[in-house]
Amino acid sequence: MIYSKIAGTGRYLPERILTNADLEKMVDTSDEWIRTRTGIEQRHIADEEQMTSDLCVKAAQNAMDSAGVAADDIDMIFVGTTSPDLIFPNIATIIQHKMGIPACACYAVEAACSGFVYALSAADKFVRTGDAKCVLVIGAEIITKLIDWDDRSTCVLFGDGAGAVVLKPSGEPGILSTHLGADGQYQQLLYYPVGVSNNLAAAGVGDSRIMMSGNDVFKVAVKTLTAVAQEALDANDVDLDELDWLVPHQANLRIIQATAKRLKLPMEKVIQTVQIHGNTSAASIPLAFDVAVRDGRIKRGQLVLFDAFGGGFTWGAVLLRY
Ligand code: UT7
């Protein structure tokens, strides 16, 4: 049996940090409101000239170094993002070119905050079937370029960054199962109003911003993150006490706490980076994973569950033996 296994991890966060104190000077908000409602203390913001692909290249190189693979070894690229450099060519081809990776299939996956888990799930299938031998899977966003900095209900939430993994075949268990879902009836609760076939030319960039009914999103997020995490555990006959780590989407500390509580999982087993990264959308899970791998909490052989939820709504879970 061939499994796909994470051979290396990496991340990149833009240098510029925006604190809650900085935001207090920009909109009618307070450090106290942001901390108590979201847990967020700071977030990283890309520079004007930085492209999402630039963040990806740095995170990918970091992951390739940790996996001990070179550009020549990569035979497929998946990128989960909602904030690509261009509408086309797709961001994975841009990264391929920037990194000198030989000709290979390049996928861009748009599933909002679930983008990385969607990408990882698809990449896993290519590795398991033997169609790919060394896949770069990246979750990345410069989501702050979609933000209205005068809208206090959203501008305090988001941050930029990129996380990456290298996926390789292995005889030892790696990714055990992946569980994806989506329900398009919730579009109006979280979306970005400007697209190609609706009103790109008419709207103009200044007219657009992330639209979110935060409270409604919150409730569905907790319910769905719990359900899909449980689905992944049940599918593998894994009891909760066998799970070493939950790496959930980092949107809001209260969502993470409520999900852990519903799952009856102690917070000591939950990786939390929302405090220092904010909500980085598709980048949040690979960023959090890399932080915990590199600081030594997540160790080889441990059982890890990724749990994602985002606009669409989309959701997904991946249970893996690291
Ligand atoms: O990543 C994909 C999915 N996204 C999410 O999962 C986000 C889900 N939602 C959330 O995280 C939370 O709903 C928010 C953090 C967005 C909001 O927290 P909340 O506890 O749901 O607050 P609320 O929207 O009910 O607003 C409460 C109050 C309102 O004032 P009134 O109407 O009670 O007078 C808001 O106007 O807080 C006010 N408010 C703020 N006050 C200070 C909203 N934003 C701010 C702000 N600073 N930045």
Nearest CA to ligand 1 atom 17: 214
Does the annotation mark 44 as catalytic?
no
Ligand 1 mean position, distance from CA 255 (Å): 12
pLDDT over 60 (residue 308): yes
**Does the CB atom of residue 314 touch ligand 1 within 6 A?**
no
Residue-wise pLDDT tens digits, 54-97? 999 999 999 999 999 999 999 999 999 999 999 999 999 999 99
Q: Is the pLDDT of residue 201 over 70?
A: no
**How far, in Å, is the centroid of ligand 1 from the Cα of 176?**
36
Q: What percent of the chain has pLDDT over 70?
A: 97
Cα 41 to Cα 19: distance, rounded to the nearest angstrom = 6
Ligand 1: which residue has its CA nearest to atom 48? Answer: 152
The pLDDT tens digits for 4-35 are 999 999 999 999 999 999 999 999 999 999 99
pLDDT at 234 over 60: yes
Residue 255 CB less than 6 A away from ligand 1 = yes
**Which amino acid belongs to residue 273?**
T
Does residue 162 register a pLDDT over 90? yes
Q: Does residue 155 carry a catalytic annotation? A: no
Taking the centre of ligand 1 as the mean of its atom positions, its distance from the CA of residue 188, in whole angstroms, is: 17
Q: Which residue has tokens 């319910």? A: 223
Edge-first strand order for the sheet with 245-248 is 175-182, 314-321, 303-310, 245-248
Our answer on whether the CB atom of 221 is closer than 6 Å to any ligand 1 atom is yes
pLDDT of residue 197: 83
pLDDT of residue 207: 61
Q: Which of 25, 36, 37, 114 to mutate to test the pocket of ligand 1 (most atoms within 8 A of CB)?
A: 37
User: Measured from the CB, is residue 37 less than 6 Å from ligand 1?
Assistant: yes
Q: How confident is the model at residue 209 (pLDDT cuts 50, 70, 90)?
A: confident
Res. 205: pLDDT tops 60: no
Cα 268–chain centre separation: 21
The response to whether residue 214 sits with its C-beta less than 6 Å from ligand 1 reads yes
Nearest to 228 by CA among 311, 116, 315: 315
Atom number, ligand 1, closest to the C-alpha of residue 281: 1
Which of 118, 190, 218, 273 has the most ligand 1 atoms within 8 A of CB, as the residue to mutate?
218
Nearest CA residue ID for atom 10, ligand 1: 214
Q: How far is the CA of 39 from the centre of ligand 1 (A)?
A: 12
- The backbone torsions φ and ψ at residue 111, rounded to the nearest 5 degrees and listed phi first, read -140, 35
Which residue among 106, 113, 134, 155 is the active-site one?
113
* Predicted pLDDT at 198: 79
Residue 195: per-residue pLDDT: 85
Cβ proximity of 84 and 49 under 8 Å: no
Rg of the Cα atoms in the chain? 18
CA of 219 to the centre of ligand 1 (A): 12
- Nearest-CA residue for atom 5 of ligand 1: 251
Nearest alpha carbon, ligand 1 atom 3: 310
Whether residue 217 has its Cβ less than 6 Å from ligand 1: yes
126 has a pLDDT exceeding 70: yes
Q: Are 161 and 299 in contact (CB under 8 A)?
A: no
Q: What is the pLDDT of residue 199?
A: 67
Q: Which atom of ligand 1 is nearest to the CA of 156?
A: 48
pLDDT score, position 251: 98
What value does the mean pLDDT of the chain take?
A: 96
Distance CA 198, CA 207 (A): 14
Active site residue 113: yes
Burial of residue 241 (CB within 10 Å: 0-12, 13-18, 19+) is exposed
**Residue 244, C-beta contacts closer than 8 angstroms, at least 6 positions apart:** 269, 298, 302, 303, 304
pLDDT of residue 227: 98
pLDDT classification of 121: cutoffs 50, 70, 90: very high
Percent of the chain beyond pLDDT 90?
A: 94
* Residue 321 clears pLDDT 90, i.e. is over it: yes
Q: How far apart are CA 45 and CA 28, in angstroms?
A: 20
- pLDDT reading at 193 higher than 90: no
Residue-level pLDDT at 200: 65
CB 14 within 8 A of CB 47: yes
- SS3 assignment for the chain: CCEEEEEEEEEECCCCEEEHHHHHCCCCCCHHHHHHHHCCCEEECCCCCCCHHHHHHHHHHHHHHHHCCCHHHCCEEEEECCCCCCCCCCHHHHHHHHHCCCCCEEEEECCHHHHHHHHHHHHHHHHHCCCCCCEEEEEEECHHHHCCCCCHHHHCCECCEEEEEEEEEECCCCEEEEEEEECHHHHHHEECCCCCCCCHHHHCHHHCCCEECHHHHHHHHHHHHHHHHHHHHHHCCCCHHHCCEEEECCCCHHHHHHHHHHHCCCHHHECCCHHHHCECHHHHHHHHHHHHHHCCCCCCCCEEEEEEEECCCEEEEEEEEC
